[in-house]
Structure formats: structure tokens, C-alpha cells
Structure 1
């Protein structure tokens, strides 16, 4: 089974849970948070550069007609006084500005935008990517990662933060989604959004509440939105990264997660 891990915000333990699930399911982890990856192989075995197209502006040819500014839907170009300002970090490399420019003042050029890697950390197989330039080309890096290292029948996909857009773009192959969260003032709202998301996608959804100091009451909310509530992982003082070792009392929790995901509810 291919499992996708999501969260509405960062710092809730997706990386830790990804590693624990990889150990429990004997599955590799795909780090899709390429803008700021937290998981990277300690031992790199294969590595490749990712190239992407970005626009390059030739100011000496520009006559300030502004056609490119009107055409760009990403805000990468703007007319400011007597110049066209080009914002590289907003460029998606679509090429529409190049096609419409009457003076041929814009060209598309191949740049090294990221890298992908395969390796291991503590016996866990990791496939990861990261951006090397300030661009919105996360999708280009993720696509290259999956093309170079095709998904096996079992895999853990760690998505970026968020419950839409970029966070979901790399989860097309997921057969089940897990929301990883922590106690906070918008927890029930987060569960509601996740429930609506899984229903819309027609996928099974599971909720795990991490770093719990006091009991939380969200089981009824999960049931209301057709979600399976796996339970809570307690706050573990001095925790160093290996959840299975740090929480040996959690065997029943992991059995419950496995049974549900494998269809043995």
C-alpha cells in the first residue's frame, strides 16, 4: 500500500512518523517536501541533478510594451517606471511571455533547479529531492524523483505542509492518507478539512495526534467525517528521533494502524 502523510502545519512529527511507518511496513520513504526537506539519506547511493526551464529577460531589447506583464499569471513580471521587473522566484517556466514578446526580449533557459537522491538512514530506504534555486518548481523535482525512482507497491509519501495545492500534487498514487497533527486550538477544524479532503478524493483517511500531554477528545469528530482515529502518541521527553525505540509501549497502537491500513479492521 502507498500511504501519504499530511499535516496543516509544520513541526508536528511527519518526518518521525514517516520513519516509524517505514520500519513497520518495511517500505521506503519518499521525501516530497522538496522546498525544505527534513529527511535526507545519511548514506547517499545515487544522486542526480534536476534541470528546469526558467525565463531570462534581455532588458536591452525591451521596448516596455507591457504585453509580457499582462500575459504572466504568476506575477513574475511587472512594469515599474521605465523598466520591466523580472522576479525569478515566481517564474514557472511556462514560456507564455516568450511567445508574446514582439521584440524577442525573453528567452527560456535550462537551469539546475534541484537534485534527487537515493540512499539509506539507519537501514531505511530514502528517496528525496530538494530545490537548489528559489523557484516554484517543486513539481518538476517531484516528477523527476518518481520517474528516476518509480514507486514500489509499498511506500510512504511525506507531503509538504498543507491540505491542498502543492501538498497534494505528489500524492496522486496514494491509496490512503494519514493526517499527523498535535493538540492545538484548531485541531477540530483541521480534522474537518481533512475529512472533506479524503471524501472528495474517495480515499480512506486516518488521524494520528502526536506529542499529547493531556488526553484529547477528537474520536467523535473523526467518526463524523468518516475518518479512522488511530489514537495518540504521548509526549516523550528527550526524544531523539527513533519513535519505535523511544515508545516501546506503543506496540498496540502500531498494530491498530497496520490492521486498519491492511484492511483488517
Structure 2
């Protein structure tokens, strides 16, 4: 039985983490123009947010960047995780695993600064990319998402038995056919979960995006951060509530896709 003091400590920790979030959601429905003062229930700030062209443009850009970054991360991370899980020892395996997982442990400030220096050097050497914008943000977020997708795919394939793949090869299927008909379906739930995870990471990133974005690549988190420096507004509460709901739905889908399934 869990000791009482441990339950109290856990409850206090959860309250400390989630009480500010609950207050933010509550004040998003306040009619008072002061962000942290209750003035009666109202949805006026969600309507005001819908009429804010700057935030809507930034939100649409964030969605496009997140979708593109997640798709690229699934391709690169899926291939990396498959190689690490299904191939035996080979030259450079340790280096590949270390490089693929480096973004997981590096501070985002270091990642953002290094990517900025890389893009500047690349532009000076080749002329591409021309300045910083949505493309550089997409590539930076794909780099981060690749590491997470690779870990998800590698863990999925490491726990999956190879019997079906070996049976397909024994029955005459070539490597490409066995991969397409057996391995890929095994990876499909993890690929979908990795896509959602990379999408969520891209959608709420502000540190890396602030380094590699420019005037033409202002994502929603960056625009929101710039607004906060001028003072909170009730529209920010409404926006944060919608972002929280979107992140919660995405994480719920990830959990559903990765849940254990009955094979019977």
C-alpha cells in the first residue's frame, strides 16, 4: 500500500504542475479585459482571436511547417530506427546511433545556434537557403523530430519478433517484398505515433524557431512570445487553451497508437 505521505507528495506535485494551467484555461473564458481577473463567463476572446489576422497567419504557417517537418522526420527517423533495429553490427553503427539521438540530450539553445551557423555557412557557400524563413524552420524541426521518431521505431522493432519476416523470406519473398508486406505494417502504428509526436514538438517549439526563423517564417509560438513581451492579453489565454487542447489530442492519439494490442 502506498504510504500516505507519498500520496500527499504526489498530489502536491501534480497540483503544482497543473494548477497554473487550469487557471490559464479558466481565465480564457473570462469576460474581463484584464487577463488574470475573473469578470464572468464569456467566449469573447476566442472570437477576438479568430479575427486576429496576424495570429491566424502565424498559426497556419505553424501547421504547415509542423506537417512538413513531421513527414520528413518520419522518413529519416523511420529509416534510421529500422537500420539500428534490424541490422547487425556494421561500421559506423555506434556513430549513427549517437548522432541520431544527440538532439534528445542537447539543449535546444545549442541545437538552434548550431543550426543557425550551419544555415549561414551553407548560404555563404552555395547561396541556399536565401535567408531564414519557413524552410529553415521546417528543416530544423525535422532534425529534432527525426531523433524522436528513430527512438520510437527502434523500440517498436526491437520488441517485435522476426518470425513473420523470416517466414516471408523463406517462402520466396525478396527483401523489398518482405519489408513492404510484413515489416512496414509492423512499423505503421509507430510511424503514425512518431508523426504525431514530431508534429507536436514542431508546433510548440519556440527556442529553435527563434534562432532559424526570419520575418517570413514567424511561427505561432514565436509570435506569441513576442506578444508576451508587450504584456499579456486575454487573447493569449484563449490561444494557449486551444494549443493545450491540440497537444492533448495529439498525445492521446500517440498513446492509443502505441497501446499494447491483443494478438488473439
- The TM-score with structure 2 as length reference comes to 0.22
Query: Higher strand fraction: Structure 1 or Structure 2?
Result: 1
Query: Higher helix fraction: Structure 1 or Structure 2?
Result: 2
